[in-house]
Amino acid sequence: MKERGKYYAVVADDHAIVRSGLRAALETPGQIDPDGIEVTGEAENGLEAIALARQHKPDLLLLDVQMPLAGGAEVVVEVRRWSPDTKIVVLTGVTAIGMISALVDSGVDGLFSKGDDNQELYMRLPSILRGQRYIARRFVAALKEKPKGAQLTGRERQMLNMILAGHSNKDIAGILGISVKTVDKHRTSMMQKLDVHSVPQLMAFALREGLVDPASEL
Amino acid sequence: MKERGKYYAVVADDHAIVRSGLRAALETPGQIDPDGIEVTGEAENGLEAIALARQHKPDLLLLDVQMPLAGGAEVVVEVRRWSPDTKIVVLTGVTAIGMISALVDSGVDGLFSKGDDNQELYMRLPSILRGQRYIARRFVAALKEKPKGAQLTGRERQMLNMILAGHSNKDIAGILGISVKTVDKHRTSMMQKLDVHSVPQLMAFALREGLVDPASEL
DNA sequence: CGCAACATGGGGCCAATCCCCCATTCAAGT
DNA sequence: ACTTGAATGGGGGATTGGCCCCATGTTGCG
């Protein structure tokens, strides 16, 4: 715990414009912190974000969830592992309930929508740095009205990703070294959980709900 | 044609952080223009962008392609219709060849990647305002090495969108009021053009290549 | 320990897909 | 006037998918 003094931050986003915009807001004295928050590093993909957080151990990590090489809740978990005192604040462009839910569960300290006015972010950051947690109102509402825990098992999620990559049941069976029937079983039970009834519907659903990472290597 | 004097611009992006970042860069004197470029409006979706361009008739429109309500090349064409003297500069997060190709064909004055350093944008803007055209090097290279004209007919593109929305052949036939066999024919010939051999592969390909608009309500 | 959940397989059935063949109409070029 | 291409529609067959039945192991948890 730190008592008083300059804060240090790392910003991670795949778009340079966003990084410089955030840097400007953070570093401007009086905007968020009376002394300004010093940005000690910028990451343009998930792996860089994890590496920088590990090296710099910043007070704050401003993180986009849609990034190349690594994205989503996994980055949050990784950063936590290596730098437990870093407050992780996620900015997301996707508002899909699946992704939001995963992020909240992963234990982010702050969660904001890129579409909303960033004043909300700037206003809440000081209290987040002091240990408070804040999830944007729109997300809290969305999670409440739809607590639909369509949770998939590990194998099922794996199937989903491979199906979205364009692999057939037979392909998947070959790649994973298991029977086609087993693949079929996983796919079938997954589709029942999600209440869809064909592979195209499954793909459309997964895309819409953000159950998988579209930035991943599909 | 204007000779000398202050430039006026409109910025359009669905993320507030990006808008404020661009506004700051444009308005800072000396950064791009000696007197700075005045931002007279901000749009957070495609329709707003078209409306603002029509009202303000700015010298410059900085435009994101992935926006709610309207996106992609359509916005460029619309803006051209209503404000032919506005220089349209597109910033894109997607680097998919299909989208890039459509944008170049639509006649943008500038095309830049959000992932690249924005210095490239700032350096080129003055000459674009003077009437030069500039497409980011990475896109020129991508278009050259892959002039693959996988062009679909109107009906085929329509099939593609409905398939991606999760509709089966039978569904589509019902919606469009045509025979299932005709739907099958369109889908088959489309898949041959694209060299894919199943609906999941088709979807994966379309997503990867940006042949369809992922921002549309699918 | 029991027991639920997960992962692994198999048989079988019907519907949907993938892909070949074919024909007709209609509009746009050259 | 001839050809090309898009759009419409059909027959038929091989393959795959969607979903039901069933069984076997292996975990994790109270």
- Enumerate domains of chain A plus CATH numbers: 7-145 (3.40.50.2300), 154-209 (1.10.10.10)
Residue A216 is predicted with a pLDDT of 40
Å between A184 CA and C10 C1'? 12
Q: How far is CA B90 from the centre of its chain?
A: 7
CA-wise closest residue to A47 among A24, A75, A20: A75
Q: Pick the residue of A11, A14, A15 with the most B CBs within 10 A to test the interface with B by mutation.
A: A15
Q: Could you identify the residue written with the tokens 């007070």?
A: A59
Instruction: Give the C-alpha separation, A42 to B134, whole Å.
Output: 28
Closest-CA residue of A relative to B121 is A17
CA-wise closest residue to B136 among B116, B151, B150: B116
> Which one-letter DSSP state was computed for residue B1?
-
Read off the pLDDT of residues A120-147 as tens digits, 9 standing for 90 and up: 889 899 999 998 999 998 888 877 665 5
pLDDT along chain A (218 residues), means of 10: 72 91 88 86 88 91 80 78 89 78 82 86 90 89 64 78 86 87 89 86 78 44
Å between B157 CA and C22 C1'? 25
Closest-CA residue of A relative to B93 is A15
User: Positive or negative, the Cα torsion across A141, A144, A146, A151?
Assistant: positive
Residue B133 is predicted with a pLDDT of 92
Half-sphere CA count of A59, side-chain side, radius 13 A:
21
Q: Residue-wise pLDDT tens for chain B (218 aa)?
A: 455 578 899 999 989 889 988 998 899 888 887 888 999 999 988 888 889 989 999 999 999 887 776 666 778 888 888 888 999 999 988 777 777 877 887 788 999 988 888 888 898 999 999 989 999 888 888 776 655 555 677 778 888 888 888 888 888 888 888 888 998 998 888 888 888 888 888 888 877 776 555 444 33
Instruction: Give the C-alpha separation, B197 to B205, whole Å.
Output: 11
Helices A154-164, A180-194: axis angle to 10 degrees equals 100
Find residue B91's DSSP bridge partners.
B64, B112
A 127-166 residues with CB below 8 A of B?
163-166
Instruction: Give the C-alpha separation, A41 to A60, whole Å.
Output: 11
Q: Which tokens go with B175?
A: 């919606």
Identity at A185, one-letter amino acid code: K
